[in-house]
Structure 1
Amino acid sequence: MITSVGEVLIDMIAAEEGNLKDVKRFEKHPGGAPANVAVGVSRLGVKASLISKVGNDPFGKFLLERLRSEGVNTEGVAVDMEKHTGVVFVQLKGAKPSFVLYDGVAYFNLRKEDINLSILENSKIVHFGSVLLARSPSKETILWIMKELRDRVAISFDVNIRRDLWKNREEDMFKVIEEAIRFTDILKVSDEELKLLEEKGIKTEGRLLTAITLGKEGCILRTWEHEVKIPGYPVKPIDTTGAGDAFTAALLVGLIAFREYFTESTLMKIGRFANLVAGLSTTKRGAWSIPKREELMKYSEAREIFTKL
């Protein structure tokens, strides 16, 4: 089982291109990077669970229903009786999204007492996003979980820098991200984020695996012994929201398929699969656009992975 820890929320995606102040119509979609990963893992045929928090409101109930319909275990999703479910407004320009997030929502109120450690301890990989590190008490809760699981479960972390959440606190952001990286076995970072980390002197080497995403150019997978560059899968994107999460879901499934047996050949197979899944996810709207296992069986890149699971 792969467990994701972090936000699940409502993406209000602009139904037309342009600035948010000019947009008149929005489409409601489920989202949140860790939730996107959990749904992706489930669609790829591996058991998935989510640790998060929603409000006791219609949006929270909607998200729980959708997660369960996707086969994601929601026993670890707490319900906040005071704070509302998170809502994010998404602006699309040329299929590339930008976001407006809000404070004071349920997932930022994730506390130690909300955490079901048995779910985490029974997972092969526990995946974290970075959004909850931007606020308390969720920051302390995430770092506590990472410390509890260190050397017991493989920890995956997506750097996913969101500067708008750290206004006037960028130095704090890098300090917290550096602390999270110290607990990380599987690091996912974009080429732009990697450059920022290196400029701050934050070390990313020494992981079980580091995945560097290059957008449409593909990715680089790096271990202690090997480094391979895998070209992207060519598509005509409609909406790239959640593409990085689709990549992460496929990457983690690929890692389970090869069970830490990483040669240049197996890394190429894992990377081709992750690029395929990420690319195909951009051909539909919304963050939960990752194709299902049965849809992927026609691709050799996918069959190479599924035969190993």
Structure 2
Amino acid sequence: MTTPDLLTVGEALVSLRSAGPLAAGGALTTHLAGAESNVAVGVARLGHRAAWVGRVSTDEFGEFTLRQLRAEGVGVDGVTRDPDRPTGLMFLEQRTADVTRVQYHRAGSAGSALRVDDLRAPLAAGARMLHLTGITPALSDTAREAIRWAAEAAVAAGIPVCLDVNHRVRLWSRDSAREVLAPLAGHASTVIASADELDLVGDPGADESAVVAELFRRGVDTVLVKLGSEGARAHTPAGVEHVGALAVTAVDTVGAGDAFTAGYLSGWFDGLDLTGRLRRAATLGAFAVSSRGDCEGLPRRAELSLLDGHEAGSVLR
């Protein structure tokens, strides 16, 4: 594969989904999951070159993971195969129409054993952007060191870094996350966080403007604040810009933040201005929440206009 536009690093999971309570039994459907792989798929569907790197088990779920990524056009040449550890699993149950519960079975997984040596060759091959999240460094000491090394190596090679905070309360505490993510953010050119995650890359208790100002002083040039149904705010040294969310019928919010990130990065690769990047990010977020699955509903480039001026129940003939 030629040098990718986007290189992502993380753990790809297999998601097993149930339409009802898991305790009641019933059919499970199998899906690819994982924040970084979701972003890679979203970017690849829009015609960009994307690559994902991590450790993948040699079990059947590991084969499924690689097959799904290859089918989406995501490069996996740099993946390390691990015969000694299983694939991490995520179970989702639609408990009610408004509540989805998630259970993880990822302790000791292949992906959690990520280490620096797994990343040397992929980073040496280069990329236009390296995308990292706050999930992977929470998985293990070796994964934490690998992500820190990747950020430093990218900066040294002139590759900009995008960091999505993506705090997972089941993986680590806010204090533990802040200890790792605040220094990591100093290597990023773009930082993405929900409003309640911002203090994890700044001083505890600081308000949004104070955290943003601190990140600017440390070399970050864009801070994106995800606001859910209210859209998103983008901070740059030139000022603040807001984009509203598209009005769609939300059926599944899993993966919405990853879709937003994929849309923003796609706009960056296409050379769009900040407004254009935010609009594309909002569009992909709308596709994500209005379709089921982590990344299955993300659009191809020719579909980006499908939601323009749409009405509920629209049928395109």
Normalising to structure 1: TM-score of the pair? 0.87
Aligned residue in 1 for 2:89 = 87
1:137 corresponding residue in structure 2? 142
**Paired residues of 2:232 and 2:244 also in contact (CA < 8 A):** yes
Q: Secondary structure at the match of 1:34?
A: helix
Tell me how far 1:297 sits from its aligned partner: 4.5
Residue 76 (structure 1) aligned with residue 78 (structure 2): yes
Shift of 1:275: 0.5
Residues 112-171 of structure 1: CA distance to partner in whole angstroms, max 9, x if unpaired? 2222434565211100111211112111111111111115111001101101111xx542
Q: Judging changes above 3 Å, is the alpha-carbon distance between structure 1 residues 198 and 110 closer, same or farther for their aligned structure 2 residues?
A: closer
1:275 matched to which residue of 2? 282
CA–CA distance in 2 between the matches of 1:154 and 1:96? 37
Judge which range, 218-227 or 280-289, deviates more. 280-289
Which whole-Å CA distance do the structure 2 matches of 1:274 and 1:65 have between them? Answer: 27
Equivalent residue number for residue 237 of structure 2: 224
CA deviation after TM superposition for structure 1 residue 23, in Å: 5.8
Q: Which has the higher contact order (CA 8 A, sep 6+)?
A: 1
| Partner AA of 1:294 in structure 2 | A
Contact 2:182 2:200 (8 Å CA) reproduced: no
1:14 positional shift? 2.5
- Distance (whole Å) between structure 2 residues aligned to residue 238 and residue 299 of structure 1: 16
Structure 1 gaps of 5+ residues are 260-265, 302-309
Q: Distance in 2 between matches of 1:245 and 1:285?
A: 14
User: Which of residues 147, 151, 154 is equivalent to 1:149?
Assistant: 154
Which residue of 233, 250, 253 maps to 1:237?
250
Instruction: Confirm or deny that 1:294 pairs with 2:288.
Output: no
Secondary structure, counterpart of 2:141 in structure 1: coil
SS in 2 for 1:75: coil
The alpha-carbon distance between structure 1 residues 160 and 21, as it changes in their structure 2 partners (threshold 3 A), is farther
- Say yes or no: does 1:177 pair with 2:184: no
Distance 1:96 1:142, change over 3 A: farther
Which residue number corresponds to residue 263 of structure 2?
250
Name the CA distance, whole Å, in 1 between partners of 2:203 and 2:18.
34
Match of 2:164 among 151, 158, 161: 158
Corresponding letter in the other structure for 2:246 = Y
The match for 1:63 is 65
* Equivalent residues, number: 291
TM-score, with structure 2 as normaliser: 0.85
Contact kept, 8 Å, 1:232 with 1:279, in 2: the verdict is yes
CA contact (8 A) 2:223 2:234 kept: yes
CA separation of 1:274 and 1:32: change in aligned 2, threshold 3 A: same
Q: 2:102 aligns with which of 90, 94, 99?
A: 99
What is the DSSP-based 3-state SS (H/G/I as helix, E as strand, rest coil) of the residue aligned with 1:104? coil
**Cα deviation 1:177-202 (Å, max 9, x = unaligned):** 11211111111101121256556167
Provide closer, same or farther for how the CA distance between residues 26 and 298 of structure 1 changes in structure 2, counting only shifts above 3 A.
closer
CA offset digits 1:69-90 (Å, max 9, x no partner): 1000001221111001111112
Kindly, what percent of the aligned residue pairs are identical? 29
Structure 2 portions without partners, runs of 5+? 310-317
Distance 1:28 1:48 in 2: 23
CA–CA distance in 2 between the matches of 1:95 and 1:244? 18
Whichever residue aligns with residue 37 of structure 2, its letter is: A
Q: Return the alpha-carbon distance in structure 1 between the equivalents of residues 222 and 9 of structure 2.
A: 19
